[in-house]
Structure 1
Amino acid sequence: MAPFKKEKPLHSIIAGTTAGAIEAFATYPTEFVKTRSQFSGKKERPIAIIRDTLKTKGIVGLYSGCTALVAGNAVKAGVRFVSYDHFKSLLADSEGKVSAARSLLAGLGAGMTEAIFAVTPSETIKTKLIDDAKRPNPQFRGLIHGTASIVRQEGIRGIYRGLFPVMMRQGANSAVRFTTYSTLKQFVQGAARPGQTLPSTITFGIGAIAGLVTVYTTMPLDVVKTRMQSLEARAQYRNSFHCAYRIFTEEGILRFWTGTTPRLTRLVLAGGIVFTVYENVIKLLGGIDSSSES
Structure 2
Amino acid sequence: LTSSPGFLTGVCGVAVGYPLDTVKVRIQTEPKYTGIWDCVRDTYHRERVRGFYRGLSLPVCTVSLVSSVSFGTYRHCLAHICRVRYGSAEAKPAKTDVTLSGFASGLVRVFLTSPTEVAKVRLQTQTQTPAQQRRRSSASGPSVPAVPAAGPPTCPVPPAGLPPGPRYRGPLHCLATVAREEGLRGLYKGSSALLFRDGHSFATYFLSYAILCERLTPAGQSQPDVSGVLVAGGCAGALAWAVATPMDVIKARLQADGQGRRRYRGLLHCVLTSVREEGPRVLFKGLLLNCCRAFPVNMVVFVAYEAVLRLTRGLLT
User: Normalization by structure 1: what TM-score?
Assistant: 0.87
Render the CA deviation track for 1:21-80: whole Å, top value 9, x for unaligned: 221122101100000001133343211211221221111111001122233433221111
Equivalent runs, 1:135-284 vs 2, <5 Å: 137-189=165-217, 192-232=218-258, 235-284=262-311
Q: 2:125 aligns with which of 122, 127, 131?
A: 131
CA distance in 2, matches of 1:232, 1:151: 12
CA distance in 2, matches of 1:112, 1:121: 15
CA distance in 2, matches of 1:46, 1:288: 45
Paired position in structure 2 for 1:57: 47
Equivalent runs, 1:74-93 vs 2, <5 Å: 74-92=64-82, 93=85
Paired position in structure 1 for 2:26: 36
Q: Percent identity over the alignment?
A: 26
105-114 or 74-83, which deviates more: 74-83
Paired position in structure 2 for 1:114: 109
| 8 Å CA contact retained: 1:38, 1:258 | yes
151-160 or 33-42, which deviates more: 151-160
CA distance in 2, matches of 1:90, 1:246: 43
CA distance in 1, matches of 2:128, 2:291: 23
How much has 1:13 moved relative to structure 2? Answer: 2.2
Aligned residue for 2:265, secondary structure, equals coil
User: Quick one: which amino acid aligns to residue 114 of structure 1?
Assistant: R
| 8 Å CA contact retained: 2:56, 2:120 | yes
Paired position in structure 2 for 1:7: none
Aligned residue for 2:233, secondary structure, equals helix
Give the RMSD, CA atoms, in angstroms. Answer: 1.9
| 8 Å CA contact retained: 2:18, 2:53 | yes
- Aligned in 2, Cα 1:257/1:73: closer, same or farther, shift over 3 Å? farther
How much has 1:164 moved relative to structure 2? Answer: 0.8
User: Quick one: which amino acid aligns to residue 124 of structure 1?
Assistant: V
Paired position in structure 2 for 1:8: none
Aligned residue for 1:59, secondary structure, equals helix
How much has 1:102 moved relative to structure 2? Answer: 2.4
Number of residue equivalences: 277
Structure 1 or 2, whichever has the larger Rg, is: 2
CA distance in 2, matches of 1:224, 1:37: 12
| 8 Å CA contact retained: 2:257, 2:263 | no
Gapped runs of 5+ residues in structure 1? 1-10
Aligned residue for 1:236, secondary structure, equals coil
Does residue 18 of the first structure (1) align with residue 18 of the second (2)?
Answer: no
Structure 1 or 2: more helix by fraction: 1
Q: 1:94 aligns with which of 86, 95, 99?
A: 86
CA distance in 2, matches of 1:114, 1:193: 36
How much has 1:101 moved relative to structure 2? Answer: 2.0
36-45 or 267-276, which deviates more: 36-45
CA distance in 2, matches of 1:103, 1:285: 21
Gapped runs of 5+ residues in structure 2? 130-162
CA distance in 2, matches of 1:252, 1:287: 53
User: Normalization by structure 2: what TM-score?
Assistant: 0.81
Render the CA deviation track for 1:199-251: whole Å, top value 9, x for unaligned: 32221110011112112222111101101100437711111111111112221
Render the CA deviation track for 1:126-174: whole Å, top value 9, x for unaligned: 0011122358632212222222222222222221111111111111111
CA distance in 2, matches of 1:47, 1:75: 33
134-143 or 105-114, which deviates more: 134-143
- Aligned in 2, Cα 1:101/1:289: closer, same or farther, shift over 3 Å? closer
Aligned residue for 1:152, secondary structure, equals helix
